[in-house]
Structure 1
Amino acid sequence: MTIFIAPDKKWTVDKLQVQVYPGRSELGISAAQEAAEAIRERLREQDRVRIVFAAAPSQNEFLEQLCREEGIDWSRITAFHMDEYIGLRKGAAQRFSEFLRRNIFDKVCPGTVHLIDGCEDVEAECRRYEELIQEAPIDIVCLGIGENGHIAFNDPPVADFADQEMIKPVPLEEACRLQQVNDGCFPDLSSVPTHAITLTIPALMSGKRLFCMVPGPTKRQAVRNTLTQPVSTACPATVLRSHPNCTLYVDVESYDDGELV
């Protein structure tokens, strides 16, 4: 029997729907249930559904529950991911393609999986992946928000709300690289790659439905900035407030009522 978890609080900021949960487990379960229903609904309406996934520890509970959801014909899903390190050796556990293989792709076996390869010619890889992204509309994007407010690897210095590209190579801010250490993905800053390939903000925002999962105390400032700062690339995640169908899922550790008064 499916148990639905009601949020402790829900409201909208501009167009962004915000839901607060008591913990990251409840957040992940609820977000996955809502995402699964959106996938099932689109599968009833069209032959294939195209989904972009984020790879980060913040997505763990969400992905775990999504794999459990019934009634999804994964053979009709085309899966993408939104970013990848440049130069990290093939098979490295920190590669985002490997994270998603472990946490969802090898479990549910989507019909088609398009992976970004950061070890190939970067310009050629960007052209290849952009062609795949543009073959048809993106139905669903499952994402998070970085400690510096990035979405995908669009850090404040490189974020562009009107980017003409769908995917591009970018340098990574030190704050972004430190987050990878804080998340336990790398032992120290020197081990974290300095550049990555990322879907741009227009590519992410082109998704018809966005699910944004942001648990944990290290994300509290980013959540605060996302909900209260002017919409600008100073905090790239603020752009989510302009999307017509995006839900932000937070927990009591990443959101504090008192801080937003």
Structure 2
Amino acid sequence: MNTPHPVRHYDRLKVAVYADRHTLGHEAGKAAAAHLRHLLNNQPRVRMIFAAAPSQTEFLATLAGEPGIDWSRVTAFHMDEYLGAACPPAQRFSTWLAQHLFAVVRPGDVWPIPAEGDAKTICCDYAAKIAEAPVDIVCLGIGENGHLAFNDPPVADFNDPQLMKVVELDALCRQQQVNDGCFATLDAVPRHALTLTIPALMAARRLFCMVPGRSKRQAVSDALHQPVSTACPATILRRHPDCTLYTDNDAFEEPPHG
């Protein structure tokens, strides 16, 4: 059965639940493509921010294959990156997104986050690019610890004065990179990263959030049912005026009745 359950609302957040991750990615990709086409029909350029994670694979494949999108008028950013030369280029998020999307659709402008260099300068320069004009679309996921981008619970700040910052990754976040097959061992996962902050992501006009898989069940449950707080950063999605969470039966659990 490929149709979703009826869309549910958790505060302002819309939630669509699909049978499996393939259907989730397909339907979310088509919805994002439709919105992107609509924007391109009504404005000269569109600015988008993308997450780089295996949870986004089916979504990005669908989006990349959708017809009628003038990608030359799209400016593309991504939301986080490992910091330091210790992370091989092949394992950087900019490389992953280039392989899964940017090299396929060739946006007019792509702004990768540098992994090497002075961190303060990188943050200032990238924040300035983000702040040049409103962001139209953010395509993101939710981490196993409830993080958005690399805003793990210990460093998440809903009122962060910065648009990008350096963070130390917590143990659960680093373990997820091993669970996802991105690194062979925990010791291989970098300890520090650059991330767009939660206010930078929440300022976008439209959010598409793709969260498949059994490993995300607790994070999805917390995001929908826990009080809005940085204990689960993803709870803030319930405050965004136009965000849809696309999830599947493995990640979504019906709350008990009674």
How does the TM-score come out when normalised to structure 1? Answer: 0.96
Q: 2:141 aligns with which of 119, 144, 149?
A: 144
1:108 matched to 2:77? The reply is no
Is residue 62 from structure 1 mapped to residue 53 from structure 2 by the alignment? no
Tell me, in whole angstroms, the C-alpha distance in 2 between the residues paired with 1:9 and 1:216.
20
Divergent runs of 4+, >2 A: 88-92, 258-261
- CA distance in 2 between counterparts of 1:74 and 1:238 reads 32
1:170 aligns with 2:172: no
- Given candidates 195, 217, 224, the residue that maps to 1:220 is 217
Given that residues 88 and 95 in structure 1 are in contact (C-alpha distance below 8 angstroms), is that contact kept between their aligned partners in structure 2?
no
Report percent identity of matched pairs: 57
| 1:1-261 → structure 2 map (5 Å cutoff) | 6-88=3-85, 92-258=89-255
Letter in 2 for 1:254: A
The offset of 1:92, in angstroms, is: 2.2
Residues 138-175 of structure 1 deviation map (CA, whole Å, 9 limit, x = unaligned): 00000000000000000001000000000000000000
Deviation at residue 53 of structure 1 after TM alignment = 0.2
Q: 1:71 to 1:186 in 2, by over 3 A?
A: same
Partner of 1:50, secondary structure, is: strand
Aligned residue identity for 2:135: I
Q: Secondary structure at the match of 1:257?
A: coil
Unpaired runs of at least 5, structure 2: none
Compute the RMSD of aligned alpha carbons: 1.3
Contact 2:24 2:59 in 1 (8 A): yes
Return the alpha-carbon distance in structure 1 between the equivalents of residues 209 and 162 of structure 2: 22
One-letter code of the match for 1:28? G
* Paired residue secondary structure (1:59): helix
Partner amino acid for 1:61?
Answer: E
Separation of aligned partners in 2, 1:202 and 1:44: 28
- 2:7 match: secondary structure: strand
What is the TM-score normalised by the length of structure 2? Answer: 0.97
Deviation digits for residues 82-111 of structure 1, max 9, x if unmatched?
A: 000001457622100000000000000000
Per the alignment, do residues 67 and 162 of structure 1 end up closer, same or farther by CA in structure 2, a change over 3 Å counting?
Answer: same
Q: Alpha carbons of 1:259 and 1:153: their partners in 2 closer, same or farther (altered >3 Å)? A: farther
How much does 1:26 deviate? 0.3
Distance 1:77 1:150 in 2: 27
Distance in 2 of aligned mates of 1:198 and 1:222: 20
Structure 1 residues 259 and 68: CA distance shift in structure 2, 3 A: farther
The answer to whether the Cα contact below 8 Å between 2:86 and 2:190 also exists between their aligned partners in 1 is no
Report the secondary structure of 1:52's partner residue.
strand
Contact conserved, 1:59 with 1:144, CA < 8 A, in 2?
yes
Partners of 2:57 and 2:85 in 1: CA distance:
22
- Cα 1:95–1:259 shift into 2, 3 Å: farther
Deviations 1:209-252 (A, max 9, x none): 00000000000000000000000000000000000000001100
DSSP-derived class of the 2:89 partner: coil
2 CA distance for matches of 1:105 and 1:90? 21
Alignment: residue pair count? 257
